């Protein structure tokens, strides 16, 4: 890894942007992204958007060779879109693999600092930088109170059940080192929505790698509709509970094994 203006400009970075009906937002966010990190490349993964998002993405790719597009035939979900993007980026040798929403909620202007932290050669440099709403300095703008309560409550539950210290484990604005993604079995990742982010965080931590949270200003989308649903929330609660029990059982079993050896 490296600390340099090249890294902070996005050189060696692939920003993966899943889309479904984001025709009103996509051009704006990609323009801001490439202004903030002109060395970055963008992979738009469109799930057959009926509103023309895929067609817009193709036009953008024709106009700028930093932009690539993968089309899928249906609404297959956020998690699988990122898994496709990770595999695509690893195959092409990118150093940093980045998750970002298309709706404008994640500030691309924060990316240089996030990439810089993961790119650092300093001892203990993280392999995952998370743009966090709930650490000191983080904030949310124009987000309904019920969504804030849902996010804070979900994060608190996950933190307690999984025994983690992260404040925003469900955050979807992330910079990964390619090494951390390459060490995972991406074919084993089937989670979606909120729990996809929890799943990926656990996989990084279970490799013995570190995670850093950096404060961001999160903004509610101005156009289009949120993809949040009750099914996504229920899946997250069930999976987090399941993972929590598994991890506690594994710790108990490991403790008994050590006691037997003694």
- The mean pLDDT value for 200-226 works out to 89
Any alpha helices (H) in the chain, and if so which ranges? 5-8, 26-36, 53-63, 78-91, 111-119, 145-162, 178-182, 193-206, 230-261
pLDDT of 195 reads 85
Residue 46 DSSP code: E
Distance CA 243, CA 161 (A): 8
Per the listing, tokens 């996809």 go with 196
Most confident of 1-5, 151-155, 181-185: 181-185
pLDDT of 221 reads 75
At CA 90, angle to CA 183 and CA 109, rounded to 5?
100
pLDDT tens readout for residues 243-258: 787 877 666 555 545 5
CA distance from start to end of the chain? 41
**Are residues 110 and 83 in contact, defined by beta-carbon separation less than 8 angstroms?**
no
pLDDT band at 225; cut points 50, 70, 90: low
pLDDT tens readout for residues 110-169: 999 999 999 998 888 999 999 999 999 999 998 889 889 988 988 999 889 998 999 999
pLDDT tens readout for residues 53-106: 999 999 999 999 999 999 999 888 899 999 999 999 999 999 999 999 999 999
**Are residues 35 and 120 in contact, defined by beta-carbon separation less than 8 angstroms?**
no
- The mean pLDDT value for 217-241 works out to 74
Q: Which CATH class is domain 5-257?
A: alpha beta
pLDDT at 262 over 70: no
pLDDT of 256 reads 47
4 or 14: which leads in pLDDT: 14
Distance CA 253, CA 258 (A): 9
- The mean pLDDT value for 181-194 works out to 87
pLDDT of 238 reads 81
How many CB atoms within 10 Å of residue 27? 16
Domain boundaries, the chain: 5-257
3 or 28: which leads in pLDDT: 28
């Amino acid at each position: 890894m490296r600390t340099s203006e090249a890294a902070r400009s996005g050189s060696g970075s692939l920003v993966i942007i899943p889309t479904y009906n984001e025709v009103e937002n996509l051009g704006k966010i990609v323009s801001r992204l490439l202004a903030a990190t002109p060395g970055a490349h963008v992979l738009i993964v469109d799930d057959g958007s009926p509103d023309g998002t895929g067609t817009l993405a193709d036009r953008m790719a024709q106009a700028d060779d930093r932009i690539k597009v993968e089309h899928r035939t249906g609404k297959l979900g956020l998690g699988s879109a990122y898994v496709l993007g990770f595999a695509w980026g690893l195959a092409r040798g990118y150093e940093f693999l980045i998750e970002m929403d298309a709706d404008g909620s994640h500030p691309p202007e924060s990316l240089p600092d996030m990439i810089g932290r993961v790119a650092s050669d300093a001892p203990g440099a993280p392999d995952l930088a998370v743009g966090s709403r709930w650490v000191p300095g983080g904030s949310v703008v124009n987000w309904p109170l019920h969504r804030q309560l849902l996010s804070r409550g979900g994060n608190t539950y996950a933190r307690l059940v999984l025994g983690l210290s992260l404040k925003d484990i469900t955050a979807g604005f992330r910079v990964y080192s390619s090494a951390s993604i390459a060490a995972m079995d991406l074919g084993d990742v089937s989670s979606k929505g909120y729990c996809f982010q929890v799943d990926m965080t656990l996989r990084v931590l279970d490799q013995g790698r570190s995670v850093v949270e950096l404060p961001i200003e999160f903004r509610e989308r101005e156009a289009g509709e949120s993809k949040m649903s009750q099914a996504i929330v229920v899946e997250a609660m069930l999976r987090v509970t399941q993972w929590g029990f598994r991890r506690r059982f594994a710790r108990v079993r490991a403790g008994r094994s050590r006691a037997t050896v003694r």
